[in-house]
Amino acid sequence: MEGKVLCGASAEQLKYYFNPEFGRLPEAVQQELHDITVVMADRIGATFLMVFGKGGDLRLEVVPDEADFGYDEIETELQIRALQREKEELFGQLEAFYAAFIMGDAIG
């Protein structure tokens, strides 16, 4: 995994992580990210991450437990694509935020 983690959740460990570097995001957006990642981690039965790539693109990544032989890669991909369609506007706004405030801070 290469990039900057925005947030993530683990179904196995029942943990959620939000990168404090993104604390400038509105509380409502932070709550929505929490809800999205926790629900997705639970649905797919793996660790689900939202990661910004070096170019500022938001990627949805999955880290399955190696011992989980019931993990369904095809179903996971379908779940991710459905989420990308459903949250297209939010994800676009997050990419714009990242470009303006995170990448912009690094430049300036």
Residues 6+ apart with CB under 8 A from 16: 7, 8, 9, 34, 37, 38
Mean pLDDT computed over 5-11:
97
- Percent of the chain's residues with pLDDT above 90: 81
Confidence (pTM):
0.91
pLDDT for 18-58, tens place per residue?
999 999 999 999 999 999 999 999 999 999 999 999 999 99
Residue 65 zone, left/alpha/beta (φ > 0; ψ -120 to 50; rest): beta
Q: Give the residue, 69 or 100, on which the prediction is more confident.
A: 100
